[in-house]
Amino acid sequence: MTTLGPRARRAFGQPARVRPTTMSDRPTLGFRNAIRRSRGRHMSARAHAPPRADVAHRGERRRAQIHRHRIARSTRTHAVVKVFWDVDNCAPRVDGETVMAHRVMRAARAFGAIDGDVMAYANAETLGRLTRGVIAGGEVCGVTCVRCEGGADAADAALAEDALAWASTVATAGVAEAAPVFSTKRQRALREVSAEEEAAARAEAVRWAGRAAEAAEALPTVGGGSTVDAIVRGREHVMMLVTSDNDVKLVMDYARARGVCVVVLANLSPNAASGGMKIKTKRLRNVAKSIGSVGMNNAYFEAVKLEGERRQLSRLKLLQSADGALLWDPNRRFAIREDERVDASGEEPVAGDVVGVWRPDKGGIGRWYA
């Protein structure tokens, strides 16, 4: 007997699909039971079979990969690092002066050996708020405090002058030209400079920004290496600026134009973690529930990335002149490490640490394992 297909059935006015009506058209009960027994034997064999070697050691392999990944991200380069710290702009908590100094130095050592002491600049008002006086009294090993007198921008001017002098001394590229004269907008307003002088200052800033961009384009591209190697790109000197002040952009452009790698350590505190922003989306609500208040976890790092997307870091003037940026959260508390416990006042977590790294070629925020 010939079985008609769906098209032929429709041509003869019959339904396209015919349900089986007799037992001969249906799978026999014995056939169905055989299928079930076959499936059961297969599942039982899988359940009682010895684990495969690659599956049994999958967790160990994963942990080894993470370990290698972390070491690769904290690869020590042969560069020389000079740290300039604007304490007025990035001030530690009252109980965390020593811990913050150690954490800044640890972040700097990820890029190479620190040249001399960390230079910390602050005015009398800022040092007065730090009641313990650890930084001002020179009690932190490896940190030299420069007390700046003469107004709110005195620390910025002193830091910029020393940074420009250091960059011109160690310069390995670019035309041997005198460093530009630094001044903040507030200082020029107080001196009541003319429109011509203001235009000349802007033209000088644009000129050095163009030279810095040309120098960056001429650098070799490092592929497959660590985050540190991708930021340094073979340069011998690294300038780390601990500040969030846009006034130092001229200093950064001059240093990059002269062959110095510039890294910024700037404040970035996620609003989703501190409750400073209304939580409107489901994603933010889920993140806020599991963030906690101490240490680094996946939910907190998700909040850091969300904050970076909200601020559009690549559009910030300060980061546009940097080869890379370490993002510092001054509000989040982190456990004290072994190298910080010697000078720390207690075992309680202390606020402030590096929570992520930003690179211009990536755009987003990555983890920092130094």
In the predicted model, what is the mean pLDDT of residues 348-366? 87
* Paired sense of beta strands 118-123 and 79-86, if any: parallel
pLDDT of res. 112: 92
SS3 label, residue 246: helix
Tell me: the pLDDT tens digits for 59-86? 555 544 444 444 434 454 678 999 999 9
Comparing 363 with 211, the larger pLDDT belongs to 211
The answer to whether residues 323 and 261 touch, using CB atoms and an 8 Å cutoff, is: yes
Kindly report which listed range (21-35, 146-160, 215-229) carries the lowest average pLDDT score: 21-35
Tell me: the pLDDT tens digits for 286-304? 666 677 778 888 888 888 8
Encoded amino acid at 332, one letter: R
CA-wise closest residue to 276 among 249, 311, 244: 311
Kindly report which listed range (89-93, 129-133, 205-209) carries the lowest average pLDDT score: 129-133
In whole angstroms, how far apart are CA 202 and each of 123, 182, 183, 308, 314? 27, 11, 11, 29, 21
Measured in degrees and rounded to the nearest 5, phi and psi for residue 129 equal -75, -25
* Prediction pTM value: 0.74
Distance CA 160, CA 148 (A): 12
CA angle centred on 320, ends 315 and 326, rounded to 5°: 95
Does residue 237 surpass a pLDDT of 90? yes
Buried b (16+ CB within 10 A) or exposed e, 184-198: beebeeeeeeeeeee
The listed range with the strongest mean pLDDT (90-99, 233-242, 292-301) is 233-242
Tell me: the pLDDT tens digits for 111-146? 999 998 999 998 888 887 775 666 666 667 788 888
> What's the length of the chain?
370
pLDDT of res. 322: 92
Mean residue pLDDT of the chain comes to: 77
